[in-house]
Structure 1
Amino acid sequence: MNLGQRFAGKSVIVTGGASGIGRATVLRLSAEGARVLAVDLDEKGLSALQAEHPGLSVRAGSVADEATAQSVVAQWVEQAGGLDVLVNMAGIIRSGHAAAMSYDAFMSCVTVNLGSTFLMCREALPHLERTGGNIVNAASTSSHFGHPFLTGYAASKGAVAAYTQSLAWEYLKRGVRVNAVAPGGIETPLAKSVQTGMVEDADWELYGHLSPINGFASPDKIAGVIAMLASEDGGHMNGAIVRIDGGVHA
């Protein structure tokens, strides 16, 4: 693919950057000229990513931790000279019967999926105001449609969608756009963890409307949409939750 240089001279942070959609986004924005910091808990994944692409910067740590989120943004802004784009792709899934799910399992989804998004946005916003930058968050089709046995995940992603829209409106006159992608079935390690971790007696018929007719999408398909939203091509998009599911919920 012959890509343009829409992000030439731009500074970007991508969380969840070691695998899946995050990794694909790191590579896509880098290929379009961005200076990218990939952040993830997976140190081995980050090392492999940097070994394959030596020009990338990486940082290991949990952005659901307040001190880590603060240092990630502050240190990168000092190193890169500013921040133009924040892409929040860090996330986890916990599956199981709603009546049997532990409080800790439910809240882990909220802490990682919503909490890390909040922390990174909070730390990045003052810098994005200075550059007229933007944010792309990770919602999900579960933000607006029923996903059985994934209630904690769905609740956290619904909250991410609501947070995105409210933040976009709050910063409407302050020069910062905030959007989110809402992927459906994607070929990622996170999606595979649902299949392997699903309760044995789950009624798979309830998942009939969630299965893409054309199969699951590759992460690079989502990265392409993220690149559009984060670039000037998406300059008139704000507070959008962009559904990418192959038409499953059309």
Structure 2
Amino acid sequence: MSAPILSRFANKVVIVTGGGSGIGQAVVRRLASEGAIVTAVDVNETGLVEGAKQVEQIAVAGGRSSFVVGSVSNEDSVKKIVQDVVDREGRLDALINVAGILRSNNTLDTSLEQFMEPIHVNLVGTFLFCREAMPHLLKTKGNIVNTASTSAQYGHPYMAGYAASKGGVESMTKALAWEYIRQGVRINAVAPGGVSTPLTAAQEGRMGTLDRSLFQRLTRPDFQFGMPDQVASVFAMLASEDGGFMTGEIVKVDGGVHN
């Protein structure tokens, strides 16, 4: 990715969950390239280290990144991560929740544990970070960008638990946006469609055991997936002053698949 000529996040302190791979890693790169002070959170330490190397190469606007290995669904861990960032940097300007897991299973073969797993990570993890970040964002009139999914709005097969978790993220985003609109904190979400990430690649490898209908719902007629950097640019817009008159929005980024 060529470095943008923008510096919308100069000296802004941002937490990005899921920053060790895919869209989250691309968001870290993009914000740091625009001057942000980013803390990336992920359970994938290898991906976080690789992402930090990428930031060193492109952070031409004075941005920088650090990383924390941790689970977004562990309440004590989330509390510590947010407080440590504020203690170290003195403030928090934005929270971008990208961390998530995707499980595709035939519903008849899905255990309760399998159904609840994406809900714990995608929905509960997003809630915990929103709750812990909010007192600090109220001070800076900051903002939150969550990650929803087109699976919450359109019928994607084999994704009952995932779709339920992302539907919850959409509803929670809208509720929080109105809860804090008078206090000056904006909350929006991006709803990606099919994006080429390790998450989707892992599911594509399993399609022989299910069928192709899932990917027919995610890809364009030319069979193209989006790229993480293309989605990261939308996160950056919403988290910056360019999105200053947007709150409670769910912005679909799917290459026109669901038009």
Q: Does 1:209 align with 2:211?
A: no
Partner of 2:204 in structure 1? Answer: 195
Q: Deviation above 3 Å: which 4+ runs of structure 1?
A: 51-55
Partner of 1:104 in structure 2? Answer: 113
Partner of 1:126 in structure 2? Answer: 135
Cα deviation per residue 1:86-123 (whole Å; 9 max; x = unaligned)? 00000001111111101111100100000100000000
Contact 2:118 2:165 in 1 (8 A): yes
Quote the offset at 1:49 in angstroms.
2.0
Partner of 2:61 in structure 1? Answer: none
Partner of 2:47 in structure 1? Answer: 45
SS in structure 1 of the partner of residue 200 of structure 2:
helix
Q: Does 1:56 align with 2:65?
A: yes
Quote the offset at 1:203 in angstroms.
3.5
Partner of 1:183 in structure 2? Answer: 192
SS in structure 2 of the partner of residue 5 of structure 1:
coil
Q: Does 1:160 align with 2:169?
A: yes
Q: Which residue identity does 2:12 align to in structure 1?
A: K
Q: How many residues align?
A: 249
Q: Normalization by structure 1: what TM-score?
A: 0.96
Q: Does 1:29 align with 2:31?
A: yes
Q: Which residue identity does 1:230 align to in structure 2?
A: A
- Tell me the distance in 2 between the aligned counterparts of 1:164 and 1:189: 25
Partner of 2:59 in structure 1? Answer: none
Q: Normalization by structure 2: what TM-score?
A: 0.93
- Tell me the distance in 2 between the aligned counterparts of 1:51 and 1:88: 21
Quote the offset at 1:199 in angstroms.
6.3
Quote the offset at 1:206 in angstroms.
5.8
Contact 2:148 2:166 in 1 (8 A): yes
Structure 2: gaps of 5 or more residues: 57-63
Contact 2:9 2:240 in 1 (8 A): yes
Structure 1: gaps of 5 or more residues: none
Say what the alpha-carbon RMSD is for the aligned residues. 1.3
Percent identity between the aligned chains? 51
Quote the offset at 1:198 in angstroms.
3.9
- Range 189-198 or range 78-87, more displaced: 189-198
Partner of 2:236 in structure 1? Answer: 227
- Tell me the distance in 2 between the aligned counterparts of 1:105 and 1:111: 10
- Tell me the distance in 1 between the aligned counterparts of 2:16 and 2:118: 19
Partner of 1:114 in structure 2? Answer: 123
SS in structure 2 of the partner of residue 210 of structure 1:
coil
